[in-house]
Amino acid sequence: MVPFCRSAVSDDGTSEREELAAWLIGPARLSGNAVAVTSGLAERLTRMGVPLHRLRIAMRVDNPLLTAWGIVWGPETAAEIFTISQALRESSTYVGSPSQHVMETGTWFRRRLDQLGPEDHTVLHELAGVGFADYLAIPVTFANGIIQPAVFATRHGSGFADSHIALINGLCVPLSAALEAIAMRRSTASLLATFLGEGPAAHVQAGAIHRGDIVETEAAILLTDMRGFTPLSLVSPPSQLLATLGRYFEAVADAVRAEGGDVLKFLGDGVLSIFQVTEDGRTAACTAAVRAVSRVVASARTEDLPPFVAALHVGPVMYGNIGSPTRLDFTVVGTAVNIVSRLEGIAKASGETVVCSETFASAVPATLTRTIGRSAIKGLDGEHEVFAMAVERDSRA
């Protein structure tokens, strides 16, 4: 028989419950680590006699692509972080679930899983099907009014005792204190990454928030642009035009992120991305950029996207905050950025899908490129050789 939660008193007169609450408010909160908080709470509750076999805490996030993230713990496996998409919020997995009840009512939810009926949510039946016997979800309320669900489940046949439930419910406020700052930081990071890109977001969070906070770096630069966007915008309804742009932007952004790059700007129908040169060298960055373009070309064919062009260059850039005293932008500037812009124009005029500079071509295998002649590039003296990339062509380009 698993004992009820003890109310033992330590040598200094502090109860175990008070010690756990103090740990959540103090060391756990200051750790800044949601996994450590969740694991530490679960392990401490287990030592106090709570028959805990699953702890899952979900936290909403300010992100147009995700609705929540969280941590799930089990005694046999390490705690793991999970994410929940916006689409799941509208699915049967969430609608009518105990988590929805907790988030919308701010009250706790308890159900014995060996006494379920057909009216009970599928989440409860799924847990019962894998051996869980009791379920408790409590509200963890942040200062901004957002309520997060923390779910406790046990496989013990007798379920949670009343004292277990009282202990867990009594930890709502300390648990909120431990998680709120962590959740707010992650929400901010998620929002920054969505609008700035992973690399810029990391720089901003590290303190690069002032005008002129710029670092010099080297990067492979990719600029993609739709063909025929202006005529398309004149004949397409706004909703259709935005849907087309959205699919195109998604294809480019997914390809860039998949190859380790950062999308910095959506410029009308263009997308500016970079692949920073690291200790792996210039060739690695340029090759990643080529792979990203190949992904976009494949998407343009399979997903019926409009034709596009792409330009590639590699060189030194200034990377960071520029703008006015009242409006800042995190971007890259420099001659290399200007060159890739001119190359994009050459791509459109030449009929090629992807072109690159001589500097870029020299950093990748010669089999990937072929010369298309010399051309004047505004901002540079003389004429310079321009190359077409041997990626799979979009047959409509």
Q: What is the pLDDT of residues 212-250, one digit of tens each?
A: 566 677 889 999 988 777 777 777 788 887 887 888 888
Q: Given this model, what pLDDT does residue 66 score?
A: 65
> What are the DSSP calls for 299-322, one per residue?
HHHHTTPPPEEEEEEEEEEEEEEE
Nearest partner of 251 among 198, 289, 310, 305, judged by Cα? 305
Mean pLDDT for 313-335 is: 74
Q: Given this model, what pLDDT does residue 65 score?
A: 60
Contact by Cβ (8 Å): 310, 339: no
Mean pLDDT for 191-204 is: 59
Tell the burial category of 338 from Cβ atoms under 10 Å away from its Cβ (0-12, 13-18, 19+): middle
Continuous segment of H or E residues that includes residue 61: none
3-class secondary structure, 72: strand
Contact by Cβ (8 Å): 306, 312: no
Contact by Cβ (8 Å): 360, 286: yes
Dihedral pair phi/psi, residue 131, rounded to 5°:
100, 5
Mean pLDDT for 7-33 is: 77
95-99, 258-262, 327-331, 336-340: the lowest-pLDDT one: 327-331
Dihedral pair phi/psi, residue 188, rounded to 5°:
-65, -45
pLDDT at residue 14 is higher than 60: no
- Which domains are seen in the chain, by residue range? 16-193 (3.30.450.40), 197-389 (3.30.70.1230)
Mean pLDDT for 299-309 is: 80
Tell the burial category of 46 from Cβ atoms under 10 Å away from its Cβ (0-12, 13-18, 19+): middle
Question: Residue 32: CB partners within 8 Å, gap ≥ 6?
Answer: 181, 182, 185
| First and final C-alpha spacing in the chain | 72
Considering just the CA atoms, what is the radius of gyration of the chain in Å?
A: 27
Q: Given this model, what pLDDT does residue 337 score?
A: 86
Mean pLDDT for 289-317 is: 87
Q: Give 126's pLDDT tier (boundaries 50, 70, 90).
A: very high
DSSP H helical segments within 224-281, as ranges? 229-235, 238-258
User: In angstroms, rounded to a whole number, what is the distance separating the alpha carbons of residues 32 and 179?
Assistant: 8
- pLDDT tens, 84-125? 776 667 778 888 899 999 999 999 999 999 999 999 999 999
User: In angstroms, rounded to a whole number, what is the distance separating the alpha carbons of residues 34 and 184?
Assistant: 11
Nearest partner of 29 among 181, 193, 178, judged by Cα? 178
Q: Given this model, what pLDDT does residue 82 score?
A: 84
User: In angstroms, rounded to a whole number, what is the distance separating the alpha carbons of residues 141 and 98?
Assistant: 16
3-class secondary structure, 53: coil
pTM over 0.75: no
pLDDT at residue 136 is higher than 80: yes
Q: Given this model, what pLDDT does residue 395 score?
A: 34
3-class secondary structure, 22: helix
Q: Given this model, what pLDDT does residue 13 score?
A: 39
Question: What percentage of residues in the chain have a pLDDT greater than 70?
Answer: 81
User: In angstroms, rounded to a whole number, what is the distance separating the alpha carbons of residues 287 and 128?
Assistant: 50
Retrieve residue 63's tokens. Answer: 């992100």
